[in-house]
Every structure is written in structure tokens, then in C-alpha cells.
Structure 1
Amino acid sequence: MTASPTPRRAFGFWICLALVMGNMIGSGFFLMPASLAPFGWNGAFGWVATTAGALCLAVIFGSLAHAFPKAGGAYAYTRQAFGPTTAFVVAWSYWVSMWVGNAAIATGLVAPLATLFPSIIDHSAIVTIAIVWMVTGINCFSALLTGRVQLLTTILKFAALVAVVLLAALVIGRSGGEVLPPIRLQDLGFGGETGIAAAAALTLWSFLGLESATVPAERVKDPSRTIPRATLAGTAITGCIYLFACSAVALLLPVEQVVKSGAPMADFVALYWGPFAGTMMAAAAVVSAFGALNGWVLLQGEMPWAMAKDGVFPRFLAKTSSRGTPLRAHIVASLLVTLVISFNFTRSIGDLFQFLILLATSAALVVYLACSVGALRLARQGRLPAGRARLLVFLLAALFSCWALYGAGVESLLWGMVLLLSGIPIHFLMRRNLPPGETVSSLGPDDQELNDA
């Protein structure tokens, strides 16, 4: 172990793009058509609305990464805008959401894996924990290996979704569009249980992770240029894939069949290309979840490492391996993931997955709102260059974040508040217990001025 050497900048544009796309596209998206089928065309317009909001958030994170290319992502940005205490509280809830969310991703990975190997369902907890530590081992070995795994899995899942889009295009083209249900104005609407707003709230979860490239900034080549490009491109490309792949399956299969399907995309492919192609699509869902877990495990180690370097987490977590990976931070976070899975072993996979996703997404939405408001504040102070058009985008991103929190529901909002409030005593406890000179040690002049204020 070494104190904290400068990490090797192993992540170029393509790996950062894979990190953004790979963390957004998990196994859950392959099930999304089942949830959106009752919405009809409102579901497609819901994707359009959510993609527009996600792109506004991508501009926020791209602008912040360009101005402040520091490790820690949301932690670094909120520290610049609001000072160390607010930054810690926001980052704490975000970090907790990461390892809780990773327990959900790992749990969700076992479901499609069990369709390929049914015998593992009796040992699902052991298999889930084994997968977590397999991915942790990859992340502990080297950032370069992590990046290559992320790139490979993203290419495979992207190819599978493009195949769905191409198949849908062929089916629609051969029928002259007659296989699609007609667009009737009386069926379109913004409100209601099956309206555009409800569909957009549902599809929002698929964009969580658009900020992924901002967290490991110290491992990125030319971060002030690479991270904004990867964040914007990754969000835009993923939004288009979401719109066409998910909408095609939801609209082209009978609603009664889709809503009852445990693998709607696999069913769609199998219908036209045979059972083997459907099995390959199920395998793509496994690869997709594995890639998402790989990317999020990277972030769950990078976040506490960046905070430990600033003195707001124990210095123990700032130590790195000889390869420059935050080995201790990865091990601690994955131990917490293991505990979450073990303590919830008695729950069904479906119940556990829903609870963990609720907890993880609530914290992510709070982070989005904090960064949006922080960007507006930094722009007003003249520390974040922004013209009128960009300021408008910042404002839209803040409004979108507020709407997303509202759309997430009361339970999600309450869990977000619980995570935020839990960070306050922990922050002051850590500051009191750390030796003099190790608290908020990396504050620059601007940060110290905000802290004093």
C-alpha cells in the first residue's frame, strides 16, 4: 500500500462513454417494456420527455466537470458551491445509495441468470455475493482492467439493443407500419395513471448514472474535455436506444403478453428469430447487469477514496494499492453490499430489488437537485462560465429534478431525507475524531472562503 499516488489516467473517451452508458443500461431496462406496455404511445412520449430532462442534467454535469475536473463528482461540485458540510451530507447519501444500489443490481442479475441456469435459484444469495466479490476483484486489480470490462460489456449490450431496434424496423417496414397501433389524440394525455407524466416518472430510473464519468475524474485523460463529451454523448445515445428499443417491444407485442412476461425483449426476439435468439437476448440481460455492476462498484470505491483524501472520511480509505486502485475503499464498500444482501436474505428477490432500488434512486435524485442548484449558484458567482442559454438549461435541470422527486413519490422522498439527515451527525463525528490537520485538508482558497462564510 502507498499513501495515495497520482492515479494512472487510464480512462479515455471511449471508456468514459462506456461508463456512462453501461451504468445507465442494466438488466432492469430489458424488463421495462412490461411496465410501459399499458401506456401505449404515451410511453414513447414519456421517453422523449425524460430524455430531454436527462440531457439538461448532462449539460449540468458536463459544465461542472469542465470547470472543476476533480475526483468525487457530485461531492467535488457541491463542495465548490456550498462548502464541505453540505458536500459531505449530499455525498454521504449518494455513496450509501451506491452500495445499496449495487446490492439491488447484483440481486437483479441473478434473475436473468437463473433463466439460463435454473439450478442456481436455490443458492441465489451465495451466487449474488460471489458475483459482487468477483466484480470487486476486477476493480481492485486495476482501473485499466475495470475500464476494459466496462467497454466490452457495453459493446455487447449495445449490440443486443441495436438488434432489437433493427428487428423492429424490419417488422414495421414489411407491414408498411400496419403492425403499429394507431396514434389517437383521445388516447394521448399528460396526466392520469397512464399519461405521459406517469410514463416519464417510470422511465426516469433508467437514466440514473448519467453522471458516472464525473466521479473517477483523476483517472480520466484530459478530464475537462473528455468527461463533458462522454456525459452528453452517452446520455443522448442511450436515450435514443431506450426510446426505439423499449417502445418497439411495448407497441409491437400484444399488451396482455408483454405485461405478463418476465423477459419481454427476449420474447420479442424469439417470436421473429427463434428460441435461440431469445436465449441470446436473455444472456445479453445478464451481461448488461454485470457491466452495470462493474461500473457502479468502481464508483462506490472512488467516492470514499476522494472524500478520504479531503480528510472528511478516515485516512484509512485514502490508501491505494501499488496499481493506484482504492483497494481498501472497494473492500469496505463491498463488505457493506454483502451485509445488505445477507440481512435481507429472507425477502423475496422481487421485494428486495424494489426496496433497494427505491432507496438508491431517492438519494440519486437529491444529488441531481443539489448539483443543479449548485451550478446556478456557481454561475451567479461567476465561477462557472454560462451564457443565457446555458443558464436556462441549468434552471430546467433544477426544475426537472424537483419534478422527478415529486414523481418519485412520498416514500422515495422520505428515504432520501433519512439518508441526508443521517450524514449530518456522521460528518461532525468524523471531523471531531480525526487528528488536527486531517480535517477538510484539501480545501482550496475558494472552498475555505465558503466554509468560513
Structure 2
Amino acid sequence: MSDTARPFGFWTATALVVGGMIGSAIFVLPAALAPFGWTGVLAWVVGIGGALCVAYALGRLAATMPHSTGAIAVTGAVLGDLPAVLIGWSYWISCWAACAALSIAATGYLAVFWPALAATPARGAAAALVILWLLTLLNLRGARAAGRFQIVTTLLKLLPLLVVVGIVALAAGAGEVTPPPLPAAADVFAGLTPAVTLTLFALVGFEATGVAAERIRDPGRTVLRATMAGTALTGVLYLVVATGIGFMLPPERLAGSVTPFALFVETFWGRGPALLVALFAAVAAIGALGCWVLLQSEVPLGMARAGLLPRWFGIVSARDVPVRVTLLSSVLASVLILAAGSDSLAGLYVFVGKLVTSTTLYLYLAICVAALIRRVAVIPAALGVPFTLWAMWGAGIEASGLGLLLTLTALPLYWMRGQGAIAPQPR
């Protein structure tokens, strides 16, 4: 492929990883993790470690097949066509479900400035749809435009995280950070499973570059470097900001907050900076939405080009954009938003978030199993398998069962798939 077809270098690929990870979850998780105390800190360490294991296995797998169309095709080459279709379909479901969740989250953050956006469930759903389709139109302009948008929004979404890091550093230097007392070991491990599951929701997205490998220049090297760099950077930021907020604000205050970042900044800096944090949180959600709109089209496209889906999914425009698949994915995300239009934004976000996590875990498990079969990154992959299975258990039977049921809808498409891969259109 030419540079037009592979527009993403190392920095854009890293921005895709960071942009996919930093969306909306981290801006609400400090409140959810605050009651766990030191268990929450351990959960971040375990979650980040597990994510890095899977990320390394993905990067090494990509290096063994640099001309593949992405992580789905790589795992399919190792595990077989049927597992690849089911895994890829499950991940595609997580992509358009994530688009719905991020559209909802962005609406919630913007409602801080324009309360009318979320005055009623119907208005909230309508605003979320507008945001979703604006980002869909941007991605229809081509991968290069989407990549530039990721770089800009990634830089902007890092600002609120760096603000919190700065406040925590100043407070720690002045001796104002008072960690809670260390609990008994039994109490720490008792709450570890649900806490790790919560952290994983914020870490989902580190696989973005591997999934979109077809758009990456020199994927044999770039996928591994960008995936590890983006995952490590984001993980460290998450650990610092979530721990700082959890340790510096009383748990009872955090427990009742839906905007813990804004509450933290308002407490230690003032109302004006807190509003800016809310604005950047909206930017973070919108930036991540741009990443996931790209992925929701790239996944079926890569599968079709690998011969795993009917050829309909592999048709692209003159700009190499799978217009049909992009529109179909956004339509399904819109249906998901409208299906629960009578619920509050918060309730809908929680429901969709569980669906995203449960359907993504199948890809993580497949990556680790494929790495073990190929005998690459054996130790990280061996650690990643029990970590992923543990996270599936923590997600609960309801979420994992729903994800599995939706995944099985791919079976008719597998039987209808065309023979052979679809070659990229000539430039």
C-alpha cells in the first residue's frame, strides 16, 4: 500500500492508542473506585499490567505478519476462519457500542454548559445522535483526516489529566496528601475482582493500532512500539490521577459525584478551572469517539479483505473509506442510543459500557491464545489468558452472556462469506 493508504506513522498511531483509551471512563472512575481505597490502587496496577501483557502479545503477533489487515486477520490466520469471524464480529459490536457510549458521555459533559441538552431523555438522545453523526461524517472524508483529528484531540484531552497530576504533585510536596490506612490483606483481595473490571473499562482501546494495522506505515515495527508506548503512558497517568483524587478527597464526597475531575479541581483550584476541566472531558469523549468511529469501519473492512466476511463489507470509496460499513455501524450505534431513550444518560452509559467491555475481552483472549500457538511473547501471553478470563468473570454473567449472544449473529455471515480475500483497490 502507498502512504495514502497507510497514512499513520508512529506518532499518529500512538495518538490512536491514547485517543482510544482516554475517552470518558477515566473521568468518572475515580468516584467509582474511591470506596475501594488501596484495593483500587492495586486494581490499577493489575489492570495496567494485564493490558500491557495483551498489548505486547498483539504487537509481536503483528510483527510476524506485517502485511495482514489487522489483529482480526492475524488471530484468524492462527486460530482459523470461524474463530476469527466470531472474534472480529464481537469486537465490531464493541466498537459501535463504544461509539454510542462516547456520544452519550460527550452529551453529559456538554450539558454542564448547556443543561437543555439533557433536560429530558429524548433531548439527551438527540444530542448524542448529532455528535455521533458529525464524527461519522468526518471519518467519511478519509483515514488521514481522522488521524489528524486524533492528534489534536489527544493533545487537548491530556490537559485535564496533567492538571490533576500537577495538583497532586504540589500537594504531595507540601505534605497535604494523606493516604488512607492500609487495610488487611484479606480485605484488599476481597474487592479486587470488581475493581479490576472497572479499571479495564478505562483501559479498553489500547488495541486500536493493532486493529487498524492496515493504515499503519511499517506495521511490523510501528504497531508494537505505538501500542506499548501509548498503553504505558496512559496507564501511568490513570494510576496517578485516580489515586490522587481518591486519596485527596473524602470518599463520601466522591461517592455522590458524577464529575469527580471537576469536583477535584474546584476543591483545590476554583470554579473556573473546574468548568474548563468539564470542557476538556467533553473533548476527550469526542476525540475517543473519532477513534472508535474509525475502528468500527476498519474491523469489518479488514475481515472482508481477509475473506472472512461477504464482499459487501469490503467495498470502499475513492478515498479508501468503507462508506457502507461506516454508515451501517453508526446506524446500529444510533439504534442502541434510541433503544434506551427513556433512560437517563447515566443509566444508558453504564449499560453500554458493560457491553463494550464484555465483547472486547474475546479479542484479548484470542490474541493471547494465538501468541501462545505461534510461540511469540509466550510469557506475556500466558499471563494474559488468566487475566482476560478473570475479567470476563468480573464483568458478570449478564454482560458476558449478552455479548456472546450478539457475537453468534455472525454465523450466517460466515456461511455467506466470499471465497478469497478482497485486494485493496489500486491507487
TM-score bucket (shorter structure): over 0.9
Q: Aligned to 2:410, which of 423, 429, 438? A: 423
Is the counterpart of residue 286 in structure 1 residue 273 in structure 2? Answer: no
Give the 5 Å matches for 1:368-447.
368-379=364-375, 386=376, 390-428=377-415, 430-431=416-417, 438-441=418-421
2: CA distance, partners of 1:180 / 1:231: 34
- Structure 2 CA distance, aligned partners of 1:29 and 1:326? 31
Q: Which moved more, 1:133-142 or 1:92-101?
A: 92-101
TM normalised by structure 2 equals 0.93
Alignment of 1:347-362 (within 5 A): 347-362=343-358
Please list, as runs of the form range in 1=range in 2, the aligned pairs for 1:155-194 lying within 5 A after superposition: 155-174=155-174, 176=175, 178-186=176-184, 189-192=187-190
* Aligned counterpart in structure 2 of residue 23 of structure 1, from 20, 33, 37: 20
| Whole-Å separation in 1 of the counterparts to 2:149 and 2:382 | 36
Q: Of 331, 346, 360, which residue of structure 1 is paired with 2:342? A: 346
DSSP-derived class of the 2:217 partner = coil
1:40 Cα offset (Å): 1.2
Query: How many angstroms apart in 1 are the aligned matches of 2:68 and 2:95?
Result: 16
In 1: Cα distance, 2:308 partner to 2:157 partner: 37
Question: What is the deviation of 1:189?
Answer: 3.8
Alpha-carbon distance, 1:87 to partner: 0.6
Give the secondary structure class of the aligned counterpart of 2:320: coil
The CA deviation string for residues 116-159 of structure 1, in whole angstroms up to 9 with x for no partner, is 11121242222111111110111110211111111111111112
Change (3 A) 1:166 1:188: farther
Give deviations 1:203-227, integer Å, cap 9, x for gaps.
Answer: 1111111110012212211111111
For residue 97 of structure 2, what is the aligned residue in structure 1?
100
Alignment-mate amino acid for residue 104 of structure 1? A
Task: Return the letter of the residue paired with 1:44.
Answer: V
Superposed counterparts of 1:181-260, under 5 Å: 181-186=179-184, 189-192=187-190, 195-260=191-256
CA-atom RMSD in angstroms? 2.0
1:111 matches 2:108: yes
CA distance in 2, matches of 1:48, 1:58: 15
Deviation at 1:187, TM superposition (A): 6.9
Taking a change above 3 Å as real, the CA distance of residues 213 and 398 of structure 1, as seen in their structure-2 partners, is: same
Distance in 2, matches of 1:421 and 1:235, equals 30
* Inter-partner Cα distance in structure 2 for 1:330 and 1:286: 23
Which secondary structure does the structure 1 equivalent of 2:318 belong to? coil
The residue that corresponds to 2:8 in the other structure is 11
Cα pair 1:73 1:216 within 8 Å, conserved: yes
For residue 160 of structure 1, report the CA deviation from its aligned partner. 1.7
Aligned residues: 420
Identify if the C-alpha distance between structure 1 residues 198 and 337 changes in structure 2 by more than 3 Å, giving closer, same or farther: closer
1:287 shift after superposition: 0.5
Is the Cα–Cα contact under 8 Å of residues 99 and 334 in structure 1 kept in the other structure? yes
Query: Structure 1 residue 327: deviation in Å?
Result: 2.0
Q: Give the Cα separation in 2 of the matches to 1:118 and 1:282.
A: 13
Does the 8 A contact of 1:65 with 1:227 survive in 2? yes
Consecutive unaligned residues of structure 2, counting only runs of 5 or more, are none
| Matched-pair contact (CA < 8 Å) for 2:309–2:413 | no
Q: Does the CA-based 8 Å contact 2:140-2:323 persist in structure 1?
A: yes
- Check conservation: 1:43, 1:196, Cα contact below 8 A: yes
Q: Distance in 2 between matches of 1:221 and 1:139?
A: 19
| Contact 2:34 2:40 survives alignment (8 Å) | yes
TM-score, structure 1 as length reference: 0.88
- The one-letter code matched in structure 2 to 1:165 is V
Is structure 2 residue 49 aligned with structure 1 residue 49? no
Q: Quick one: which amino acid aligns to residue 370 of structure 2?
A: G
Identify the range of structure 1 (180-189 vs 292-301) with the bigger mean alpha-carbon deviation: 180-189
**Partner amino acid, structure 1, of 2:8:** F
2: CA distance between counterparts of 1:286 and 1:70? Answer: 36
Q: Which amino acid aligns with 1:415?
A: L
> AA paired with 2:338?
S
The answer (yes or no) to whether the contact 2:311–2:422 under 8 Å persists in 1 is no
List per-residue Cα deviations over 1:387-424 (Å, max 9, x = no partner): xxx31111001111111111212112212321332222
- Give the deviation of 1:188 after TM superposition: 7.0
Shift of 1:6: 8.7
Aligned residue among 57, 60, 65 for 2:57: 60
Query: How far did 1:8 drift?
Result: 2.2
> AA paired with 2:397?
V
Does structure 1 conserve the Cα–Cα contact (< 8 Å) formed by 2:70 and 2:214?
A: no
Aligned-residue sequence identity (percent) comes to 39
Q: What is the distance in 1 between the residues matched to 2:369 and 2:11?
A: 29
Q: Is the CA contact (8 Å cut-off) linking 1:6 and 1:324 kept in structure 2?
A: no
Matched, 1:146 2:146: yes
Residue 125 (structure 1) aligns with: 125
Question: 2: distance between equivalents of 1:351 and 1:236?
Answer: 31
**Max radius of gyration: which structure?**
1
Alpha-carbon distance, 1:281 to partner? 0.5
Alpha-carbon distance in 2 for matches of 1:336, 1:419: 13
Quote the offset at 1:324 in angstroms. 2.0
Deviation at 1:240, TM superposition (A): 0.3
Aligned 8 A contact 1:88 1:312 in 2: yes
Name the counterpart of 1:36: 33
What is the SS of the residue equivalent to 1:439?
Answer: coil
- Which letter does structure 2 place at the counterpart of 1:418? L
Partners of 2:387 and 2:312 in 1: CA distance: 38
CA shift at 1:185, angstroms? 4.6
- Inter-partner Cα distance in structure 2 for 1:236 and 1:107: 27
Structure 1, gaps ≥5 residues long = 380-385, 432-437, 444-453
Tell me: CA distance 1:6–1:324, structure 2 relative to 1, closer, same or farther (3 Å): farther
Contact 1:72 1:302 in 2 (8 A): no
